[in-house]
Structure 1
């Protein structure tokens, strides 16, 4: 089978190659998936570059999320059947076949297309978990940067359903209309002078409870400057590649708190029923069209290096996907 392999860490365009590997056999509690479409996430690219929080032994097959059909059942798996269409994260999803935990496989309704199913779990689950992580309740104000990213868009959509207000910061003027087309409101471009005044006008001066920072660098301090007293800043990503830059006066006088968020650490601590409920909410919301998972481009698995390069470009309007 075709597999996207990297034998050293580095720039995906340079280190990713397509190699022929044996089709894997599922172990107890596992399923083998015939990959139909896989997502390229930022954490996938960081992993290939050797910059992520957990790294695989090399050589490794790239990718962590995909959708497809169940091709083989491991010992003890009785709730799934061969040919069933599922979305499930796993290791080495950028391949014709991959293995995953059967317990985490999500059966898909026909109303969810492969382009949405390929990115159904990781980013939307991060968004929902973030809303709980910051303790957001109906009527609260939040603020986030990188609002046109996958997590940012889904967070705004889920927050709207829950009556939580979100100020959505973007770094491109044209991203304002992009989000508006998705029904996302209260979008502010930080390239505009006086954008903080715009934020205050949107909130009517109401205190902002928490900020979600996916950028780092000076943008971290910008978020803190908008928070109310005892506000919380959550570090979720580092798109700028720069260390967080925070104002001591804002931190001291606002009595602000900074926390890090990594779903890989938090998800295992969630009660099983809570996790099932959140995934059920995601499936239902996407199936009904209440949450839209956008796509920028789709590449064939054979063009995986080009796909990874495209996923690393700025200004995308959605996920880059790989077709099996």
Structure 2
């Protein structure tokens, strides 16, 4: 297949607000061994993209400076060991480069897109799916019959967490910023939804669990939420941090941690090794992808924007009104 020499990509012209995202021409990358070149049909928009745009979350060494951590499209070229995938439809977790007409992806972090799933929806899967699987189910050990408290219930992460909890028998309690979002979360399958502007989520979580507390917390808030989250945990509970929107510091009583045998953990995904991400992709293929293929698992979609309107997509994410995933499309 003849490939163009240049493509349109979205660059961060300087750290700042959404307006610093500008379309520009870049050379079309060429795949090396174990890499796929994907003609991008769609790219997911995620909170780390916003942080990169602001200048506080730079790409890891060797990654593209083009934002974008997940894509879906057709494989149009491949390096050694991956040529058998040319012509197939895939979605992929990438360390950068997604906001472009073409993107490179390691073969190990790609998953096949079934014909029943459109590519915009496929692009909304990898980042949230990897993140929730790693943190809620691997680090947080959420298991059937347990209670999970999930903040940001109608975000991309939150809606994916609700879906996976439903599939694996975990009872999800989520927090949201309005009664309307709480109603959406309940319709999506949350066991309960708490309006954090009107209700004390600690008291509500304890009441819902008969005073015992939740077994795991998935937290993207940080700051003063941390001690409150711990108060909502049951004995032997697990607290998993994945973001720090309200700050990176908190004061907690480690006497309480010891007495109730709590576990505090967390992770970031982007800097992890390709070997680790490949292992997670294999786990997802075995344990979760059958639900995608059967149609039982679909991402909650908010809005799509043309690639050139990436600034508008970021503005919508930062406004906080979205429910589910925001996606850029190239067509």
Asked whether the 8 Å contact 1:182–1:292 carries over to 2, the reply is no
Shift of 1:156: 2.3
Give the 3 Å change call, closer, same or farther, for CA 76–253 of structure 1 in structure 2. Answer: closer
Give the 3 Å change call, closer, same or farther, for CA 170–18 of structure 1 in structure 2. Answer: same
Please say if 1:310 is aligned against 2:313: no
Gap runs ≥5 in structure 2: 1-6
Please say if 1:218 is aligned against 2:224: yes
Question: In the aligned structure 1, how far is the partner of 2:280 from the partner of 2:67?
Answer: 29
1:60-209 → structure 2 map (5 Å cutoff): 60-81=65-86, 83-90=87-94, 91-130=96-135, 131-209=137-215
Q: 1:290 aligns with which of 288, 292, 296?
A: 296
| Count of residue correspondences | 321
Shift of 1:53: 6.7
Asked whether the 8 Å contact 2:109–2:278 carries over to 1, the reply is no
**2:4 maps to what in 1?**
none
Q: SS at the partner of 2:290?
A: helix
Asked whether the 8 Å contact 1:145–1:152 carries over to 2, the reply is yes
1:253-268 → structure 2 map (5 Å cutoff): 254-264=260-270
Asked whether the 8 Å contact 1:221–1:244 carries over to 2, the reply is no
Give the 3 Å change call, closer, same or farther, for CA 227–157 of structure 1 in structure 2. Answer: same
Deviations for 1:210-249, whole angstroms, at most 9, x for unmatched residues? 2111111222222111112343221111233x23434437
Deviations for 1:256-290, whole angstroms, at most 9, x for unmatched residues? 33222223466756596664131343332234343
1:209-248 → structure 2 map (5 Å cutoff): 209-240=215-246, 242-248=247-253
Q: CA RMSD in A?
A: 2.6
Q: 2:42 aligns with which of 16, 24, 37?
A: 37
Gap runs ≥5 in structure 1: none
Deviates more, 1:299-308 or 1:36-45: 299-308
Length-normalised TM-score, structure 1: 0.88
Deviates more, 1:34-43 or 1:287-296: 287-296
Shift of 1:163: 2.0
Shift of 1:41: 0.6
Shift of 1:103: 3.3
Question: In the aligned structure 2, how far is the partner of 1:296 from the partner of 1:20?
Answer: 28
Give the 3 Å change call, closer, same or farther, for CA 194–313 of structure 1 in structure 2. Answer: closer
Question: In the aligned structure 2, how far is the partner of 1:247 from the partner of 1:85?
Answer: 47
Question: In the aligned structure 2, how far is the partner of 1:267 from the partner of 1:152?
Answer: 25
1:269-284 → structure 2 map (5 Å cutoff): 270=276, 275-284=281-290
